[in-house]
Amino acid sequence: MQKYLRLLNLRLDVVVKDVTGLTGLSIIDAICKGEMNPEKLASLRHGNCKKSEQEIAKALQSNGRKDLLFSLNHEYELYLIFQGKISECDKQIQKLLNEQINKDDNKKQHHIEGKVHKRINKNNPDININLLSYQYFEGVDLLAIEGVSHSTVLTLMSEVGHGINKVDFSMKNSKTLPKDSLKDLRTTKLNL
């Protein structure tokens, strides 16, 4: 979409941080519906947008090429289709997680309050990852770890499986590695 906006001389990327944010999408939607008046487009700005309506209107002086407007409309429709497909995937993820949690009474008993300090990215699934992960991992609060995001927790759920258990990585329990193998690994030089 951004390519066609630039070709139309609509420099939305200059005046908004994210063209797929609230302001950007409302302006793109209006353009696709035929609105080309820069002042009317600028009036669609969201209250959180840092640029003024005058700055936005100045950046939205279109050349009005119909072929590029058609292409922009096509790209916008595809964007909406893909957003719908992503939403369907989110619902399926929630359904599968709820099925796994509801099978196990031990998992169902765990409840946790929401985290106000965790920043929620606009691309995060529209499900309560905080509660579902707490129940899924039977009381282990992974979101309490600094730097762990909702997408990290979903990745752990899909890769690790049903639980995070303590693993003993001590060398004394290893039968396959000789006693001095760690020392040998540290001193070996790689010939690249």
pLDDT tens by residue, 122-176: 777 888 888 888 888 888 888 888 888 888 888 888 887 766 665 444 545 555 5
Domain match, 73 and 9 both: yes
Q: What angle do CA 148, 153, 154 make, to 5 degrees?
A: 145
Number of structural domains the chain divides into? 2
- 118 and 149 Cβ atoms separated by less than 8 Å: yes
Domain match, 77 and 8 both: yes
Handedness of CA 3, 5, 8, 12 (dihedral sign): negative
Q: Kindly tell me the number of DSSP H helices and DSSP E strands found in the chain.
A: 10, 0
Question: Does 94 fall in a domain?
Answer: no
Question: Does 67 fall in a domain?
Answer: yes
What pLDDT score was predicted for residue 87? 92
Question: Does 15 fall in a domain?
Answer: yes
Q: Which residue has the higher pLDDT, 32 or 139?
A: 32
Domain match, 76 and 124 both: no
- 27 and 15 Cβ atoms separated by less than 8 Å: no
pTM of structure: 0.71
Question: Does 97 fall in a domain?
Answer: no
Domain match, 78 and 110 both: no
Range of the domain at 140: 104-160
Question: Does 176 fall in a domain?
Answer: no
What pLDDT score was predicted for residue 182? 47
Average pLDDT over residues 73-85: 96
- 163 and 138 Cβ atoms separated by less than 8 Å: yes
What pLDDT score was predicted for residue 180? 52
Q: Cα–Cα distance between 66 and 24 in angstroms, integer?
A: 20
